[in-house]
Chain A
Amino acid sequence: MAQAIAFYVIAACILGFGVLVISTKDTVHSVLFLVLDFLFVAALYVLLGAPFLAAIQVLVYAGGIVVLYLFVVMLVNLKRPPEAHSDPHRRTKLGFGLAAAVLVELGAIAAQGYAHPAAAIAAPATAAIPVSGNTEQVGWLLYTSYLIPFEIASMLLLVAMIGAIVLAKREL
Protein backbone atom coordinates (compact mmCIF):
# COMPACT_ATOMS: atom_id res chain seq x y z
CA MET A 1 0.00 0.00 0.00
CA ALA A 2 2.75 2.41 0.89
CA GLN A 3 4.54 1.33 -2.25
CA ALA A 4 1.52 2.21 -4.38
CA ILE A 5 1.23 5.63 -2.74
CA ALA A 6 4.95 6.24 -3.24
CA PHE A 7 4.69 5.21 -6.88
CA TYR A 8 1.80 7.57 -7.57
CA VAL A 9 3.48 10.47 -5.82
CA ILE A 10 6.73 9.93 -7.71
CA ALA A 11 4.87 9.45 -10.98
CA ALA A 12 2.91 12.67 -10.47
CA CYS A 13 6.11 14.55 -9.71
CA ILE A 14 7.88 13.12 -12.77
CA LEU A 15 5.04 14.05 -15.10
CA GLY A 16 4.55 17.45 -13.48
CA PHE A 17 8.19 18.40 -13.77
CA GLY A 18 8.25 17.00 -17.29
CA VAL A 19 5.46 19.32 -18.33
CA LEU A 20 7.26 22.19 -16.61
CA VAL A 21 10.47 21.38 -18.52
CA ILE A 22 8.83 21.87 -21.88
CA SER A 23 6.61 24.77 -20.98
CA THR A 24 8.86 27.17 -19.09
CA LYS A 25 10.00 30.27 -20.90
CA ASP A 26 13.34 30.55 -19.20
CA THR A 27 15.92 28.00 -20.33
CA VAL A 28 17.75 27.83 -16.99
CA HIS A 29 14.50 27.04 -15.17
CA SER A 30 13.89 24.32 -17.73
CA VAL A 31 17.25 22.73 -16.99
CA LEU A 32 16.60 22.86 -13.25
CA PHE A 33 13.23 21.15 -13.68
CA LEU A 34 15.03 18.52 -15.76
CA VAL A 35 17.40 17.85 -12.85
CA LEU A 36 14.46 17.36 -10.49
CA ASP A 37 12.85 15.08 -13.04
CA PHE A 38 15.96 12.91 -13.23
CA LEU A 39 16.16 12.69 -9.44
CA PHE A 40 12.55 11.55 -9.20
CA VAL A 41 13.14 8.97 -11.93
CA ALA A 42 16.07 7.68 -9.86
CA ALA A 43 13.73 7.39 -6.85
CA LEU A 44 11.36 5.40 -9.08
CA TYR A 45 14.19 3.06 -9.99
CA VAL A 46 14.84 2.40 -6.31
CA LEU A 47 11.15 1.65 -5.89
CA LEU A 48 11.24 -0.78 -8.82
CA GLY A 49 14.14 -2.68 -7.33
CA ALA A 50 17.03 -1.29 -9.34
CA PRO A 51 19.25 0.61 -6.90
CA PHE A 52 22.36 0.30 -9.06
CA LEU A 53 20.58 1.91 -11.98
CA ALA A 54 19.30 4.65 -9.68
CA ALA A 55 22.86 5.48 -8.62
CA ILE A 56 24.01 5.44 -12.25
CA GLN A 57 21.13 7.72 -13.20
CA VAL A 58 22.01 10.25 -10.52
CA LEU A 59 25.70 10.18 -11.41
CA VAL A 60 25.48 10.25 -15.18
CA TYR A 61 22.22 12.04 -15.89
CA ALA A 62 21.61 14.39 -13.01
CA GLY A 63 25.29 14.92 -12.37
CA GLY A 64 26.91 14.95 -15.78
CA ILE A 65 24.47 15.66 -18.56
CA VAL A 66 22.62 18.42 -16.75
CA VAL A 67 25.92 20.13 -15.95
CA LEU A 68 26.68 19.90 -19.67
CA TYR A 69 23.36 21.54 -20.49
CA LEU A 70 23.98 24.29 -17.96
CA PHE A 71 27.35 25.02 -19.49
CA VAL A 72 25.85 25.24 -22.95
CA VAL A 73 23.04 27.48 -21.70
CA MET A 74 25.67 29.69 -20.14
CA LEU A 75 27.78 29.85 -23.29
CA VAL A 76 24.78 30.45 -25.53
CA ASN A 77 23.70 33.40 -23.46
CA LEU A 78 20.25 34.42 -24.52
CA LYS A 79 19.49 38.08 -24.21
CA ARG A 80 15.89 37.66 -25.14
CA PRO A 81 13.85 34.46 -25.01
CA PRO A 82 13.73 33.00 -28.51
CA GLU A 83 9.98 32.52 -28.31
CA ALA A 84 9.44 36.28 -28.48
CA HIS A 85 7.80 36.31 -31.88
CA SER A 86 5.89 33.48 -33.48
CA ASP A 87 6.83 32.26 -36.89
CA PRO A 88 4.03 32.06 -39.43
CA HIS A 89 5.64 28.97 -40.94
CA ARG A 90 5.53 27.11 -37.65
CA ARG A 91 2.60 24.82 -37.22
CA THR A 92 2.24 24.34 -33.48
CA LYS A 93 -1.11 22.65 -33.89
CA LEU A 94 0.50 20.07 -36.17
CA GLY A 95 3.02 19.33 -33.43
CA PHE A 96 0.26 18.76 -30.90
CA GLY A 97 -1.65 16.72 -33.46
CA LEU A 98 1.31 14.43 -34.10
CA ALA A 99 1.82 13.97 -30.37
CA ALA A 100 -1.87 13.09 -30.06
CA ALA A 101 -1.41 10.55 -32.86
CA VAL A 102 1.49 8.95 -30.97
CA LEU A 103 -0.70 8.85 -27.86
CA VAL A 104 -3.51 7.13 -29.76
CA GLU A 105 -1.07 4.56 -31.16
CA LEU A 106 0.37 3.83 -27.72
CA GLY A 107 -3.15 3.49 -26.35
CA ALA A 108 -4.05 1.03 -29.11
CA ILE A 109 -0.96 -1.06 -28.37
CA ALA A 110 -1.73 -1.04 -24.65
CA ALA A 111 -5.36 -2.01 -25.25
CA GLN A 112 -4.30 -4.89 -27.44
CA GLY A 113 -1.84 -5.99 -24.82
CA TYR A 114 -4.62 -6.10 -22.26
CA ALA A 115 -6.93 -8.02 -24.62
CA HIS A 116 -4.47 -10.89 -25.11
CA PRO A 117 -2.59 -11.20 -21.85
CA ALA A 118 -1.41 -14.77 -22.33
CA ALA A 119 0.55 -14.22 -25.50
CA ALA A 120 1.99 -10.93 -24.33
CA ILE A 121 5.20 -11.52 -22.46
CA ALA A 122 7.47 -14.53 -22.24
CA ALA A 123 10.40 -14.03 -19.92
CA PRO A 124 13.64 -14.79 -21.75
CA ALA A 125 15.29 -17.79 -20.22
CA THR A 126 18.43 -16.75 -18.41
CA ALA A 127 20.83 -19.08 -16.69
CA ALA A 128 20.80 -18.84 -12.94
CA ILE A 129 23.05 -16.00 -11.88
CA PRO A 130 25.30 -17.30 -9.12
CA VAL A 131 25.56 -14.02 -7.23
CA SER A 132 22.95 -12.20 -5.24
CA GLY A 133 22.41 -8.53 -4.73
CA ASN A 134 21.24 -6.23 -7.47
CA THR A 135 24.59 -4.66 -8.40
CA GLU A 136 26.30 -8.03 -8.59
CA GLN A 137 23.55 -9.45 -10.77
CA VAL A 138 23.70 -6.54 -13.17
CA GLY A 139 27.47 -6.81 -13.28
CA TRP A 140 27.30 -10.55 -13.90
CA LEU A 141 24.94 -10.08 -16.85
CA LEU A 142 26.96 -7.18 -18.17
CA TYR A 143 30.23 -9.06 -18.23
CA THR A 144 29.11 -12.47 -19.42
CA SER A 145 26.00 -12.40 -21.60
CA TYR A 146 26.20 -8.78 -22.75
CA LEU A 147 29.92 -8.33 -23.09
CA ILE A 148 29.86 -7.35 -26.76
CA PRO A 149 27.34 -4.51 -26.32
CA PHE A 150 29.39 -3.34 -23.36
CA GLU A 151 32.52 -3.05 -25.47
CA ILE A 152 30.62 -1.42 -28.30
CA ALA A 153 29.15 1.10 -25.86
CA SER A 154 32.62 1.99 -24.64
CA MET A 155 33.77 2.50 -28.24
CA LEU A 156 30.71 4.67 -28.82
CA LEU A 157 31.56 6.82 -25.83
CA LEU A 158 35.12 7.21 -27.04
CA VAL A 159 34.00 8.24 -30.50
CA ALA A 160 31.46 10.65 -29.02
CA MET A 161 34.11 12.22 -26.83
CA ILE A 162 36.46 12.76 -29.76
CA GLY A 163 33.61 14.09 -31.87
CA ALA A 164 32.47 16.54 -29.22
CA ILE A 165 35.99 17.88 -28.75
CA VAL A 166 36.47 18.30 -32.49
CA LEU A 167 33.12 20.06 -32.84
CA ALA A 168 33.77 22.50 -30.07
CA LYS A 169 37.27 23.55 -30.97
CA ARG A 170 37.79 27.14 -32.01
CA GLU A 171 40.12 26.47 -34.89
CA LEU A 172 40.89 23.16 -36.47
Chain B
Amino acid sequence: MLLSAALFIIGVIGVMVRRNIIIIFMSIELILNAVNINLVAFSAQLGNQIGQVFAIFVIAVAAAEAAVGLGIILALYRNKETVNIDEMNLMRS
Protein backbone atom coordinates (compact mmCIF):
# COMPACT_ATOMS: atom_id res chain seq x y z
CA MET B 1 0.00 0.00 0.00
CA LEU B 2 2.91 2.31 0.69
CA LEU B 3 4.19 1.55 -2.77
CA SER B 4 0.83 2.47 -4.25
CA ALA B 5 0.73 5.72 -2.27
CA ALA B 6 4.28 6.60 -3.33
CA LEU B 7 3.51 5.94 -6.99
CA PHE B 8 0.35 8.02 -6.67
CA ILE B 9 2.38 10.91 -5.25
CA ILE B 10 4.88 10.64 -8.10
CA GLY B 11 2.02 10.74 -10.59
CA VAL B 12 0.46 13.77 -8.91
CA ILE B 13 3.80 15.60 -8.94
CA GLY B 14 4.18 14.77 -12.61
CA VAL B 15 0.72 16.08 -13.44
CA MET B 16 1.30 19.36 -11.67
CA VAL B 17 4.89 20.16 -12.50
CA ARG B 18 5.37 19.23 -16.13
CA ARG B 19 4.17 21.40 -18.98
CA ASN B 20 4.22 18.93 -21.82
CA ILE B 21 0.66 17.72 -22.02
CA ILE B 22 1.64 14.24 -23.21
CA ILE B 23 3.70 13.75 -20.06
CA ILE B 24 0.76 14.98 -18.02
CA PHE B 25 -1.36 12.23 -19.55
CA MET B 26 1.34 9.68 -18.81
CA SER B 27 1.39 10.82 -15.18
CA ILE B 28 -2.37 10.22 -15.08
CA GLU B 29 -1.68 6.67 -16.28
CA LEU B 30 0.85 6.33 -13.45
CA ILE B 31 -1.82 7.41 -10.97
CA LEU B 32 -4.24 4.83 -12.36
CA ASN B 33 -1.57 2.14 -12.10
CA ALA B 34 -0.97 3.09 -8.48
CA VAL B 35 -4.69 2.63 -7.79
CA ASN B 36 -4.58 -0.76 -9.51
CA ILE B 37 -1.66 -1.88 -7.39
CA ASN B 38 -3.62 -0.92 -4.31
CA LEU B 39 -6.67 -2.87 -5.49
CA VAL B 40 -4.65 -6.01 -6.26
CA ALA B 41 -2.85 -5.79 -2.91
CA PHE B 42 -6.18 -5.69 -1.11
CA SER B 43 -7.45 -8.55 -3.20
CA ALA B 44 -4.38 -10.60 -2.28
CA GLN B 45 -4.86 -9.86 1.39
CA LEU B 46 -8.59 -10.50 1.58
CA GLY B 47 -8.38 -13.68 -0.41
CA ASN B 48 -11.09 -12.97 -2.97
CA GLN B 49 -10.82 -11.73 -6.50
CA ILE B 50 -13.12 -8.74 -6.30
CA GLY B 51 -10.18 -6.33 -6.29
CA GLN B 52 -8.81 -7.88 -9.45
CA VAL B 53 -12.17 -7.58 -11.19
CA PHE B 54 -12.32 -3.92 -10.28
CA ALA B 55 -8.75 -3.48 -11.46
CA ILE B 56 -9.77 -4.85 -14.87
CA PHE B 57 -12.45 -2.19 -15.05
CA VAL B 58 -9.95 0.48 -14.07
CA ILE B 59 -7.65 -0.67 -16.89
CA ALA B 60 -10.52 -0.53 -19.36
CA VAL B 61 -11.49 2.98 -18.25
CA ALA B 62 -7.85 4.09 -18.41
CA ALA B 63 -7.53 2.78 -21.95
CA ALA B 64 -10.70 4.59 -23.04
CA GLU B 65 -9.59 7.80 -21.38
CA ALA B 66 -6.12 7.62 -22.91
CA ALA B 67 -7.57 7.16 -26.38
CA VAL B 68 -9.99 10.06 -26.12
CA GLY B 69 -7.43 12.28 -24.39
CA LEU B 70 -4.83 11.68 -27.07
CA GLY B 71 -7.46 12.40 -29.72
CA ILE B 72 -8.10 15.72 -28.04
CA ILE B 73 -4.37 16.44 -27.96
CA LEU B 74 -4.09 15.74 -31.66
CA ALA B 75 -7.02 18.01 -32.47
CA LEU B 76 -5.57 20.71 -30.24
CA TYR B 77 -2.14 20.39 -31.79
CA ARG B 78 -3.55 20.87 -35.25
CA ASN B 79 -4.96 24.20 -34.23
CA LYS B 80 -2.27 25.53 -31.97
CA GLU B 81 0.99 23.84 -33.02
CA THR B 82 2.21 23.46 -29.45
CA VAL B 83 2.08 20.93 -26.61
CA ASN B 84 3.03 23.39 -23.93
CA ILE B 85 -0.03 23.85 -21.78
CA ASP B 86 1.10 27.29 -20.69
CA GLU B 87 0.67 28.48 -24.25
CA MET B 88 -2.75 26.87 -24.63
CA ASN B 89 -4.81 29.54 -22.99
CA LEU B 90 -7.84 30.61 -24.95
CA MET B 91 -9.47 32.31 -22.01
CA ARG B 92 -6.70 34.71 -21.14
CA SER B 93 -5.98 37.49 -23.57
B43's nearest neighbour on chain A, judged by CB, is A50
**Interface pair A146/B53, CB less than 8 Å apart:** yes
Candidates A15, A141, A142, A168; contact of B75 at CB < 8 Å: A168
**Interface pair B82/A82, CB less than 8 Å apart:** yes
Within 8 A of B (CB), among A84-136: 87, 89-90, 92, 94-96, 98-99, 102-103, 106, 110, 121, 123-124, 126, 129, 134
Nearest CB of chain A from residue B21's CB, rounded to whole Å: 9
Interface residue count for B (Cβ, 8 Å)? Answer: 65
Q: Number of A-B pairs whose CB atoms are under 8 Å?
A: 201
Candidates B12, B82, B86; contact of A90 at CB < 8 Å: B86
**Interface pair B57/A18, CB less than 8 Å apart:** no
**Interface pair B74/A168, CB less than 8 Å apart:** yes
**Interface pair A69/B26, CB less than 8 Å apart:** yes
Interface residues of A, dominant DSSP: helix
B77's nearest neighbour on chain A, judged by CB, is A76
**Interface pair A102/B70, CB less than 8 Å apart:** no
Instruction: Say yes or no: is A11 at the interface (Cβ < 8 Å to chain B).
Output: yes
**Interface pair B13/A164, CB less than 8 Å apart:** no
CA distance A60 to B36 in the complex (A): 14
B16's nearest neighbour on chain A, judged by CB, is A95
CA distance A159 to B67 in the complex (A): 11
Within 8 A of A (CB), among B29-83: 29-30, 33, 36-37, 40-50, 52-53, 55-57, 59-68, 70-75, 77, 82-83
CA distance A53 to B43 in the complex (A): 12
The residues of A that contact B26 with a CB separation of less than 8 Å are: 21-22, 30-31, 34, 69
